[in-house]
Amino acid sequence: MNAHLKAEFDLLLDWIPQGARVLDLGCGSGELLAYLVQHKQVKGVGLEMDDSAIVSSIANGIDVIQADLNTSNLVELFGEKAFDVVLTTQTLQAMQRPDHLVESMISVGKRAIVTFPNFAHWRNRLQLLIDGKMPVSETLPYQWYDTPNTHLCTFADFENFCTNRQIAILAQRVQGNLLAQGLPNLFGEVALYHIEQGIGR
């Protein structure tokens, strides 16, 4: 494990080929892209809306475009299959139409990587059961009234979505305890998926 990278990022590194063209949607401070540029020699660009995050990305040496993912047309911006990998980490659940974002990702990229907090994690279920309130946790740190997370989902939800849209799941990983490997929908804290356009698309 790379000590200075988030555990979530560490889990997806081998899905990104050496020297790949990478687009990071909602790149934040550019931490992941900066690591990939340094250690995998990727040609990376980030999209980010937050001003302070853009400043941090630039300070990290990342090429970043200011854009709102809810309104940006990725294919118009970059063209079909312009990138080897398009990724978004912990951003999908904050989108107005996460389905549109995933469709765009697999259009503009040969492959895509998506990560999101698993709403079906047992602690979230327990908080709802016992307290009757929306869960607050390390992966979901907001109150119901100030959360940017408008479309929370689970491992099962995302896999059903991919099946219905004929999106191929190349690999799935889970951040969580040992039990999460066998029961990701119950014990997984963060879901990670490696996807591409399915046959016939």
Q: Give me the half-sphere count of Cα atoms (radius 13 Å) on the Cβ side of residue 32.
A: 26
- Domains plus CATH for the chain? 68-197 (3.40.50.150)
One-letter-per-residue 3-state SS of 46-110: EEECCHHHHHHHHHCCCEEEECCCCCCCHHHHHCCCCEEEEEEECCHHHCCCHHHHHHHHHHHEE
Residue 90 tokens, joined? 């912990």
Above 80 in pLDDT, residue 124?
no
Contact 8, 175 (CB under 8 A): yes
Contact 91, 69 (CB under 8 A): yes
Contact 114, 172 (CB under 8 A): no
DSSP reduced 3-state for 24:
strand
Q: Give CA–CA dist 65/19, Å, rounded.
A: 21
> Exposed/middle/buried for 60, CB within 10 Å: 0-12, 13-18, 19+?
buried
DSSP reduced 3-state for 173:
strand
pLDDT tens digits, 140-191 = 565 555 555 566 788 888 999 999 999 999 999 988 767 667 767 667 788 9
| pLDDT band, very low/low/confident/very high, at 128 (cuts 50, 70, 90) | low
User: Which pLDDT value is given to residue 188?
Assistant: 74
DSSP reduced 3-state for 125:
helix
Average pLDDT over residues 116-134: 67
Place of tokens 């479309």: 151
User: Which pLDDT value is given to residue 122?
Assistant: 53
